[in-house]
Amino acid sequence: MTDSPALSAAPSVAVIVVAAGSGSRLGHAVPKAFVPLQMRPLLERALDSIFRMREAVQIIVVAPSDRLTDARGIAAQVAARHEAPVSPNRPASGPAAPPSRTVTIVGGGRTRQDSVDRGMSALIPSIDIVLVHDAARALTPAALCDEVVAAVRSTGHGIIPGLPLVDTIKRIANSGAILGTVDRSELSAVQTPQGFPRSMLAEAHTWAAQNGRFEALTDDAALVADAGLPVSVIPGHQLAFKITTPEDLERAELILQAALGEPQPQLLPRIGTGLDVHAFAADDTTELWLAGLHWPGERGLSGHSDGDVACHAICDALLGAAGLGDIGSVFGTADPRFTGAHGETFLTETVRLVAAAGYLVGNVSVQIIGNRPKFSPRRGEAETRLAGILSAPVNIAATTTDTLGFTGRAEGVAATATALVYPAPRAGRFAGQVAAPAPLPESGQTPDLNWEA
């Protein structure tokens, strides 16, 4: 690319892209900024928009410390499309300052404000306006970023984009009782990028550090306002919404497919089902483990392992969806390592095998069938436990068979499971490719188990 006059001088604007969040609410095993949106990570799409800004900017990506290589790879792809360099993972200053179109990668901190602090430490001397932007707002138009910059220049203070609220807002008590209606004309749903004069943002960070306000104020505009500095709102954009939940991600995919004309990915999600049955043990000394939980006082299920039918059914469903066989062929009952092993052992290894085959877990649904134990009081606990192991949403239902069959006679417990997996980006590659499936263990071989390490 030939430098235009706007790119010939050192930039006066920087954009700090905060990409260090875990994104647990999105239900993915990888940090939110690295979750694919139509086969491209959210961070890549966010950077594409920033590169389309009218003027030269210094771009600083604050990524998780264990994802710096991935972030650098994503930035390199975007920079190559826009013919711009990616600088090393260190602050740049003085004569060695990066040219006017660069991406610098730095490690994030414990909190969002810690991450912004680290991003500010990488600012070059020529910067006098700083935009702070969330990678999760991946579809934010470049024009909105330009408008924030222009507003900061014209006012000399903080600027944030926002949208008027369309829903009626109620104040409610803890009991759910309505206390009153809020005048929504005085409210705005704020977005990013949020822009500030560099000196103002630095002053606010110093104020927050000196007064112990970092933990209480997670929004940059709130931090600046808390320091007694002015902030104004300008009109935001509908595409600058934050991708936080699976529904947000689906909305973004539909927008890209329909409004922006991007084709539907050819690699589709896959679904698997599983079924497991275990009889109750003949003695009262066997402990009951079900859905990853210990059930004190309940008779356990017989089996080579702990007999957790819910976990075993999930393993079958995940292995089937990924084309990896079933729990018997992968783990086997002849291996003494599995004697008494808990469901967590099988689930953890199954997730690893699924990932090695090029897939991530989307969600799992489980149905437990039996007269006992009474499951409903611990449903939420079990769902949280299993979701934590799978790094994906889990829904559990329980039912009886109205005294019919072996479960109705309280002779055992059964479980069925349905699992959805979807193609994961190949490590270090973000062009819509997925890893080749990992081979199944050969006859006589067993998987590598994390619990043995």
- Annotated binding site, which residues? 276-278, 304-305, 312, 326-328, 399-402, 406, 409
Q: Can you tell me the distance from the alpha carbon of 288 to that of 382, in angstroms, rounded to the nearest whole number?
A: 14
Burial (CB < 10 A; 0-12, 13-18, 19+), residue 382, is buried
383: enclosing H helix or E strand: helix 379-390
Q: How far is CA 177 from CA 100, 170, 171, 173, 174, in A?
A: 55, 10, 9, 5, 7
3-class secondary structure per residue, 120-148: HCCCCCCCCEEEEEECCCCCCCHHHHHHH
One-letter amino acid at 342 equals H
Burial (CB < 10 A; 0-12, 13-18, 19+), residue 252, is buried
Q: Can you tell me the distance from the alpha carbon of 24 to that of 43, in angstroms, rounded to the nearest whole number?
A: 16
CA-closest candidate to residue 49, choices 137, 150, 174, 161: 137
Which residues fall in the annotated binding site for a divalent metal cation? 276, 278, 312
Strand 412-423 vs strand 359-369: parallel, antiparallel, or unpaired?
antiparallel
One-letter amino acid at 133 equals H
